[in-house]
Amino acid sequence: MKLFFYCLREFDELAFCRQFSRQLGIDFDYTTEYPSPKNYELVKGCEAVSVIPCDMSAPVLRSFCSLGVKYLLCRSIGYDHVDLDEAERLGMRVANVSYPPTGVANYAVMLMLMACRKITHVLRQADMQNFTLNGKIGLDISACTVGVIGTGQIGMSVMRVLSGFGCRILACDPHKNPHAAGLAEYVSLDRLIAESDIITLHTNATSENYHMLNAEAFSRMKSGVIIINTARGKLIDTDALVNALESGKVGFAALDVLEKEDGLYYCDRTGDTIANRDMAVLRSFPNVILSPHTAFYTKSAVEHMVKYCFTNAAGFADGSGTDHEVTHRSHH
């Protein structure tokens, strides 16, 4: 059994690959590059291929299949980049990974605290030796109503942390989480949007919730609302967000994800002219924090992502299977 990794990061993933390769007796090889027709041949002799979110459309899967690949192992929780119907037609089995939800959750809470206390502005002014208080007054998160959209593992983890601050928490999710009892009040999306001082997104991107926060939603929010997004860029209409920031309707936005971030985040674009006007506009605002999709990025998460690639491959190969297998049925 041999596993081939695309986009392997030598500075953090490689050591874990070596560790789990030894532990499970599964050989591996890798490239730091994305899959492309130029490097498909590298997978020859490997039964399994591991990828991060990238183009896994039907032609790519067919190329892998023709080279003897039986298993596609995503090093991500999301698998919306994989053509699952084609994988099933080819008899190629697909798995994702999981990792502790606390990393993303705690990062989201950190962004809330930074936004509440205008910390980027405070520190920039301090760098210029302006130590006055003018324009730096903040909010105490404990006095805020926080609206949590999406109450899966990450949303639940956020609510547990916020409950320690004593916040009033409103939650919205079509599937109520029984563990949320006593932490949050489930309300409609309309009510959450109208009553929250801080709105934080923790839901998957689907065709139904595309641009969930749009001009109409912003118009119904409290003036000066804080928006936090560590989920997916597509959940927010960026044009509408820019307008809401310019009008003062949104007081602060802290975004770890952005629409059209592919080809930007995780790449070194030093010195490049970047064709993403939304990003340029958002970066010009003093009341916006953009971080480059790093909320997940902890040592523990990376270890889990690599470990599950090896254990998923082992489960597929020895017939015991894996809880992480995904099919087009689990996707719908």
Active site residues: 232, 261, 293
Q: Are 213 and 250 in contact (CB under 8 A)?
A: no
3-state secondary structure 156-170: HHHHHHHHHHCCEEE
H helices of 213-298, where?
215-219, 238-247, 277-284
What distance in Å separates the CA atoms of residue 301 and residue 119, rounded to the nearest whole number?
Answer: 27
What distance in Å separates the CA atoms of residue 261 and residue 205, rounded to the nearest whole number?
Answer: 14
Buried b (16+ CB within 10 A) or exposed e, 47-82: bbbbbbbbebeeebbebbbebebbbbbbbbbebebb
Handedness of CA 203, 208, 210, 214 (dihedral sign): negative
The residues, any chain, with a CB within 8 Å of residue 20's CB and separated by 6 or more, are 26, 306, 307, 309, 310, 311
Helix (H) / strand (E) element for 116: namely: helix 102-116
Number of H helices, E strands in the chain: 12, 13
Picking from 13, 11, 5, the residue whose alpha carbon sits closest to that of residue 303 is 13
Q: Are 184 and 151 in contact (CB under 8 A)?
A: yes
